[in-house]
Amino acid sequence: MSVTNFLQKDSYMSNTSRSLLSGFVGGLAGSAVKSLIEQFLPVRKIEQRSAQIKIVDELSTKITGTPVSVQNEALAEQLVNIPIGGSLGAAYGYGKKDRNGLRPMDGVIFGATTWASTHETSLPILGLEPKPTDIPIRMQMNELFAHVAFGITTELVRRYLEKQLRE
């Protein structure tokens, strides 16, 4: 059985495969859009290091004995953003596998809940970001906007690819 035939069949496995694949690619596209927005809208204070950099820096120190160099921080940040975005997108795609049609509001909700579950709760609890009460509201809104754009992009790309894979 070829990949084309497998993806075109209307079985549980085919639907699941299309949904995971289209969600994964949508999440990658959403991560790219989010990163682009964050280049123009500040989401943290200039001297504040991102949670992604802190994670990669600690891992690099444990493995190599040295932290990530300042020149490589942007790359290191994307080495965390890309797989997380793709994984979140795949999970989102799986959740949408039985819902046909484009629903941008689902993307808004997806992006907003991703923001709330990371930047407003888990990252501060883990000590990777300051508490939400210590972050200026404008930066929080910029971060929320970037995450909503991530969610909408994920939905748009997911729906487009899912439709293309089905046809």
Q: What's the pLDDT at 6?
A: 56
Structure tokens at 164: 């293309």
More confident residue, 34 or 68: 34
**DSSP assignment of 136-150, as one string?**
-HHHHHHHHHHHHHH
Mean pLDDT over residues 148-164, rounded?
Answer: 95
pLDDT at 105 over 60: yes
Domain-by-domain residue ranges, the chain? 11-44+82-166
Would you give the DSSP letter of residue 68? P
Q: What is the pLDDT of residue 32?
A: 95
Q: pLDDT at position 5, please?
A: 58
pLDDT tens track for 125-139: 999 899 999 999 999
Mean pLDDT for the stretch of residues 54-64: 88
Q: What is the model's pLDDT at position 150? A: 98
Please enumerate in sequence order all residues whose Cβ is within 8 A of that of 89, keeping only pairs 6 or more positions apart, or say none. Answer: 23, 24, 25, 26, 27, 28, 30, 154, 158
* pLDDT at residue 44 is higher than 90: no
- pTM, whole model, 2 decimals? 0.88
> What value does the mean pLDDT take over residues 92-112?
90
